[in-house]
Amino acid sequence: KLILLNGELLSREQASIDIEDRGYQFGDGVYEVVRIYNSHFFELDAHLERLERSAHEIKIKLPFTISELKQRIEKLKKSNNVHSGHLYLQITRGVSPRNHAFPEKAEPVLVAYTKEYSKEPSRIPGRAMFTDDIRWLRCDIKSLNLLGNVMAKDDATVKGYDEAIFHRGEIVTEGSSTNVFIIKNRILYTHPANHLILDGITRRKILSVAASLDIQVKEESFTKQQLLEADEVFISSTTQEVRPIIEVDGQPIGNGKEGDVTASLQAELERHISRSEK
Ligand code: PMP
């Protein structure tokens, strides 16, 4: 399997990353994960636009135009013959002697590779725990700095949960690598896309799918208590799609099973995915 390093397709063994790459030393970069279904990228334009926005917000200029980038990652996908899996892509500020201030001239470094799934990611109902959202205040940027996220996820994993759900004070923000939705009286609620969450591509897709199903949507924040008292809870991401959450901090949500609204959103999202594969 080949990887993409800047403009070149190389074997992983041939590729090298400098020890003074700012991505390595500071987490100074941005990334995207794009699903591949039936050898096609899903929502590629939305991911590349978000990448460009994330890079812009931290003052990195993309080393390629979006269309050049697309050409290169299409070539990567083709040469790796990926059927079902994902593309990981990251851009760092580049290589420069270690110094917090941005270097005057550093060429951004792009790395991308693909992963073929040996089995489809699990969408079976999961259990989650609440955790204090100790992350910075620019969670809208898809930054390589994921310590707050990985520590929360590890805590959840060690305790036997499938996901950690962040809250700031009483307000639920998002999951460690997912967006969080609740359904109460057939109304779908999710945190507004501001600086406190990542505006998930799957999240956006779900909101448009919900509208097409005549499910009322409110991009409004909700509390931990409202989540625990919801009829249904689910999480979403590129890799997990829609995953029901049937228990949080040991308390069952609704009747403790996947809910109807979640199931219909899941089914409609599937239809969108299979339509996009053609
Ligand atoms: N929030 C966070 C913190 C994430 O890491 C992710 C996954 N990258 C998401 C939400 C979901 O975003 P997407 O649907 O674009 O994968």
Per-residue DSSP letter, 134:
-
Say what the pLDDT of residue 278 is: 63
**Mean pLDDT in residue range 153-176:** 98
User: Which of 179, 236, 240, 265 should be mutated for ligand 1, with most atoms under 8 A from CB?
Assistant: 179
Class of the 126-276 domain?
A: alpha beta
d(CA 266, CA 218): 18
Q: Would you list the domain boundaries of the chain?
A: 2-116, 126-276
Question: CB count, 10 Å around CB of 118?
Answer: 7
Q: How buried is residue 183: exposed, middle or buried, by Cβ count under 10 Å (0-12/13-18/19+)?
A: buried
ipTM topping 0.95: yes
Atom index in ligand 1 nearest the CA of residue 50 equals 15
Q: How far is the CA of 31 from the centre of ligand 1 (A)?
A: 11
Q: Measure 71 CA to ligand 1 centroid, in angstroms.
A: 24
Q: Is the pLDDT assigned to residue 276 strictly greater than 90?
A: no
Taking a C-beta distance cutoff of 8 angstroms, is the pair 265, 147 a contact?
A: no
Beta strands in the chain (DSSP E): 2-5, 8-11, 29-37, 40-41, 85-92, 109-116, 126-132, 163-168, 171-175, 179-184, 187-190, 216-218, 232-237, 241-248, 251-252
Residue 121 scores a pLDDT above 80: no
Q: What integer is the mean pLDDT of 122-132?
A: 93
Active site residues: 142
Q: Does position 277 have pLDDT exceeding 80, yes or no?
A: no
Mind listing the pLDDT tens digit for each residue in 24-68? Answer: 999 999 999 999 999 999 999 999 999 999 999 999 999 899 999
Tracing tokens 């109902």 back to the chain, one arrives at 125
Res. 242 pLDDT band, cuts 50 70 90: very high
| pTM listed for this prediction | 0.97
pLDDT-derived band of residue 123, with 50, 70 and 90 as boundaries?
confident
> Is domain 2-116 classified as CATH 3.20.20.80?
no
